Structure 1
Amino acid sequence: MSRSDDELFALLRTTIDEIDPMPQGLADRMIAAVAVADVSREYALLTLMENAHAAVRGDSDTTTLQFSDGKASILLHISRTASGRRRVDGWVDADAAELRLIQGEGRGERIWTAVPDEQGRCAFDEIPAGLSRALLIITGAAKDLLTPQFEV
């Protein structure tokens, strides 16, 4: 007797469900756990520190942003260079292995990496304008600080 792959997979699923059924509520608990982990990774508070009105109206060549998740903070000062690109000066208050500036997604993703000095300072030169995120890799921490998108 010959069976199709679909029939064999259905029979295998039924057998596994009978022998080792999934614990009650496991799927819901896993969805909740993944959602909580993602929220804590993604959550960072964004604050415009200075030149808020000028930056919104486009009258300023500089913007200062601060991100924090309650355990670590990133302060970014963004300024326009003579070439029309951006310089991003960063300060972190955590023991950081590196700070990454990320633009784009997937195959079009571009990443710049800087290692903060003892005072937590680092810089990125000649960054093209565009939506960006910062990722702070914290030494010995279970979670890194990933910011929401912001305009460079």
Structure 2
Amino acid sequence: MIVDSEEEEDREALAALKRMWERIDAPPADLTERMIAAVAVDDLSREYALLTEVSADRAAVRSEQERLTLQFSDASTSVLLHVSATESGSRRVDGWSEPPILAARLSQEAREWSAALGEEGRFAFADVTPGLSAVRLVVRKDGDLREFITPQFEV
């Protein structure tokens, strides 16, 4: 490969500029660690919202249906989910969100369900296959759209 003299001069000029800026305005020594920590904290608040199992009651009096109530929240969004078994063996997931949602999807590996949206933050997923799931919501908070993702939970 033939390198012409202009390319070589450009490389040398850029290398000289880099050395000058590293001397005059060097990045802080801990910049990499601080950026990794900032990204990790952002991921934690986004991906790992607080999970609280509110109740897991197995109604045995009149039915064999299982019910599970889960609550997820972070600094600006709170979600309550009721998971119940249906007669067909599938699951129904009813949810409520504050603030109200614009869209909701439940995902399990390669499969996804869209929610039927109701009023005041209500949504529901019907005929969900039992398995490890996560719910992804789009909410409007203070005029901005933001995504809220629950940690995975068993349906």
Pairwise same-fold verdict (TM > 0.5):
yes
Percent identity, aligned pairs only, is 46
Mapped partners of 1:35, 1:17: distance in 2: 29
- TM-score, L = length of structure 1: 0.73
Q: Secondary structure at the match of 2:46?
A: helix
Aligned partner of 2:95 in structure 1 is 90
Q: Secondary structure at the match of 1:129?
A: coil
- Equivalent pairs counted in the alignment come to 137
Of Structure 1 and Structure 2, the greater strand share is in: 2
Over the aligned positions, Cα root-mean-square deviation in angstroms equals: 2.9
In structure 2, the CA distance between the partners of 1:36 and 1:79, relative to structure 1 (3 Å rule), is same
Report the CA distance between 1:112 and its aligned residue: 1.7
Aligned partner of 1:34 in structure 2 is 39
Q: 4+ residue stretches of structure 1 with deviation over 3 A? A: 19-22, 140-143
* Rg comparison, structure with higher value: 2
Mapped partners of 2:37, 2:145: distance in 1: 19
- TM-score, L = length of structure 2: 0.72
Pairs within 5 Å for 1:1-152: 15=15, 17-18=18-19, 20-21=21-22, 23-24=27-28, 25-51=30-56, 54=58, 61-104=66-109, 108=110, 110-114=111-115, 116-139=117-140, 140-141=143-144, 143-152=146-155
Larger RCO (CA within 8 A; separation ≥ 6): 1
Mapped partners of 1:35, 1:98: distance in 2: 26
Mapped partners of 1:60, 1:47: distance in 2: 21
